[in-house]
């Protein structure tokens, strides 16, 4: 056992450093993001999603560093990752509707014109919907109608149909009971 520690002392010290730096870096970046979002009056929901994305990137970076410390060559990691991304890319390209929904979800989420809590009217002659935006996710937007009905609308259709953002004083659905979405 002591031979293991003697042979790998440098790796063990670097691993401990990564485990110390990871939470510190995560805390500092989250604090900076919180201050930045409060000064720009960015919604809490968007700030949480950005925090999760940044934390995910930090975790992946820490894992990559740890794997490299313990002897896996970076070339092998990048070859494996590029193969995985190629397979995922082909699968997503084959499923263009999934890709279009994800892309539309990013557009809707980062567009400052539509945010959670807004009242909207979907301009569709066959199925007009007037509702409040409850959540914007990768594939769908979740809406709550005036009679408390819930709608799950694909993001790409929402961008294709167009919407009107309603006056916040004319919101009958605000009286619905608060509930969670699936």
What's residue 182's pLDDT?
Answer: 42
Q: How far apart are CA 102 and CA 16, in angstroms?
A: 38
What's residue 181's pLDDT?
Answer: 45
Domain boundary among 62, 78, 94: 78
Domain span at residue 154 reads 104-175
Determine the 3-state secondary structure of 31 from DSSP: helix
* 95 confidence band (pLDDT: 50, 70, 90): low
Percent of the chain with pLDDT over 70: 84
pLDDT of residue 43 exceeding 80, the answer is no
* 74 confidence band (pLDDT: 50, 70, 90): low
pLDDT of residue 33 exceeding 70, the answer is yes
**CATH code where residue 156 lies:** 2.30.30.520
Averaged pLDDT for residues 22-43: 84
What's residue 93's pLDDT?
Answer: 65
Residue 93 lies in a domain: no
Residue 68 lies in a domain: yes
- pLDDT tens digits, residue range 127-136? 888 999 888 8
pLDDT of residue 154 exceeding 80, the answer is yes
Same domain, 68 and 116: no
Q: How many domains does the chain have?
A: 2
pLDDT of residue 35 exceeding 60, the answer is yes
Residue 166 lies in a domain: yes
Same domain, 26 and 67: yes
- The token pair at 177 is 């009971």
What's residue 20's pLDDT?
Answer: 92
Domain boundary among 60, 78, 96: 78
DSSP result, 67-129: HHHTT--HHHHHHHHHHHHHHHHHHHHHSHHHHHHHHHHHHHHH-TT--TT-EEEE--SSS-E
Q: HSE on the CB side for 29, CA within 13 Å?
A: 18
Same domain, 112 and 168: yes
Task: Indicate left, alpha or beta for 133 from its phi (over 0: left) and psi (-120 to 50: alpha).
Answer: beta
pLDDT of residue 120 exceeding 80, the answer is yes
What's residue 150's pLDDT?
Answer: 92
Q: How far apart are CA 89 and CA 82, in angstroms?
A: 10
Q: What is the mean pLDDT of the chain?
A: 79
Pair 142, 151: CB distance under 8 Å: yes
What's residue 168's pLDDT?
Answer: 62
Residue 181 lies in a domain: no
Q: Which residues contact 150 (CB under 8 A, 6 or more apart)?
A: 134, 142, 143, 144, 181
């Amino acid at each position: 056992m002591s031979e293991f520690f003697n042979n790998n002392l440098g790796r063990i010290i670097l691993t401990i450093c990564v485990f110390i730096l990871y939470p510190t870096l995560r805390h500092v970046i989250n604090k900076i993001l919180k201050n930045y979002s409060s000064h720009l009056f960015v919604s809490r929901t968007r700030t949480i999603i950005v925090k999760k994305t940044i934390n995910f990137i930090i975790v992946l970076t820490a894992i990559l560093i740890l794997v490299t410390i313990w002897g896996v060559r970076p070339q092998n990691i990048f070859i494996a990752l590029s193969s995985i991304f190629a397979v995922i890319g082909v699968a997503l390209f084959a499923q263009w509707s999934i890709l279009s929904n994800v892309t539309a979800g990013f557009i809707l989420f980062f567009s400052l014109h539509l945010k959670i809590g807004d009242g909207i009217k979907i301009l569709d002659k066959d199925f007009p919907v007037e509702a409040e935006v409850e959540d914007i996710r990768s594939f769908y937007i979740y809406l709550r109608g005036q009679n408390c009905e819930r709608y799950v609308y694909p993001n790409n259709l929402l961008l294709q149909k167009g919407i009107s953002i309603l006056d916040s004083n004319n919101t009958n659905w605000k009286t619905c009971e608060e509930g969670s979405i699936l």
